[in-house]
Amino acid sequence: MTEFLDPRLLRGFLAVAEDLHFTRAAARLFVAQQALSRDVRGLERTLGAELFVRTTRQVALTPDGERLLPHARRVLAAHRSLSEAFAGARPLLVDLNTDGPSTGRAVLEHARELAPGCELMARFESGLTHSAAEIAAGRLDVAFGRFAGLAPGLRYGLSQQPVRYEPLAVLLPDGHPLAGRETVRLDELAGETLYAGAGNPRTREWTDLARALFEGRGIALAPPAPVAMGKEEFRRVMAKTGNPVLATVDFARLPGTVNRPLTCPVPLSPLSLVWRRGLRHPGLDALRAAAGALAARHGWLDRPADSWLPGPDEEVMRGPS
């Protein structure tokens, strides 16, 4: 019965129709290719029509597939409109990455002031790579992080607003020879091995930033360490390995360590507000307004003259997308 057609089947059909490629469509939807193929076949059985011509070389829409395309778009648009009509009545789930002080925390607290009638619920998913997948799956609404570091398949269904160029720092053990400095030059880290989340599947965008920064500077990326959840476990694991840690200047202070800003050049971690494309919620409006207001007040988007940023991040940070 088509009156009970699952919107998921139409989403799968639309993704394949737009990409004309099952593998790319499956990656965009974060599902296995076999599952997507099964859904398309199920839709064809339900409608009693063949929607695609499949060969080893290409996928093409049949006349019935072409006929279904505008109807599928209208049905899914109506489904989104219905969901968004009641969006303001539910909490907005916002990932802050960490439960300590952060740029995201400051934006969230200001947004709560701007929209006291909205319930903005903090989550701590640790890493934009992970939280972006959670957003795409509908288990999270908003996150903060380095948008350019996401895989193209993750970025496809997301929107972003630049929030801040966060200066990077190095977290050093108290007894480290550089611990007494107020700042640390990048060239002074030559020969050092720094931890930057290697091996943690949740924080690939952060490790990718570190790899680009270390390249050609004689700084080694520390091998994977056990993934630590919580500040105390992180401190314990880092003390055990003994490696300095790449961090931001606002990173939470840990006993037995000092946090020193990096200079010459000043490396930057570009931070964006990230949400599901098409999401409408008064809480999101408040977050975007709060991010813009704080960035203007504190100069968060004023890039230092002597700074470093990867090329892909420069494009992302030029404006919302």
> Which residue, chain included where needed, has tokens 């640390």?
184
Q: Which has more pLDDT, 149 or 5?
A: 149
Give the class (CATH, top level) of 89-165+270-303: alpha beta
| Whole-number pLDDT of residue 1 | 45
Instruction: Please determine, for residue 225, whether its predicted confidence score (pLDDT) is greater than 80.
Output: no
In tens, the pLDDT along 137-150 reads 888 999 999 999 99
Q: Which has more pLDDT, 93 or 225?
A: 93
DSSP letters of 140-154?
--EEEE-GGGS-HHH
pTM over 0.75: no
CATH of 2-85, one of 3.30.70.60, 3.50.50.60, 1.10.10.10, 3.40.220.10: 1.10.10.10
Phi-psi category of residue 295: left, alpha or beta, with phi > 0 → left and psi -120 to 50 → alpha: alpha
Per the prediction, the chain carries an average pLDDT of: 88
Q: Which has more pLDDT, 46 or 4?
A: 46
Contact 53, 40 (CB under 8 A): no
Cα distance between residue 167 and residue 207, in whole Å: 16
Cα distance between residue 138 and residue 120, in whole Å: 16
Q: Enumerate the H helices of the chain as residue ranges.
A: 7-19, 22-29, 33-47, 63-85, 103-114, 128-136, 152-155, 204-214, 231-241, 282-298, 311-316
DSSP designation for 226: P
CATH of 166-267, one of 3.30.70.240, 3.40.190.10, 3.40.50.1220, 1.10.230.10: 3.40.190.10
Instruction: Please determine, for residue 256, whether its predicted confidence score (pLDDT) is greater than 90.
Output: no
Q: How confident is the model at residue 80 (pLDDT cuts 50, 70, 90)?
A: low
Which whole number is the average pLDDT over 221-242? Answer: 70
Residue closest to 30 by CA, chosen among 199, 152, 197, 201:
152
Where does CATH 1.10.10.10 sit in the chain?
2-85
Instruction: Please determine, for residue 54, whether its predicted confidence score (pLDDT) is greater than 60.
Output: yes
Instruction: Please determine, for residue 29, whether its predicted confidence score (pLDDT) is greater than 60.
Output: yes
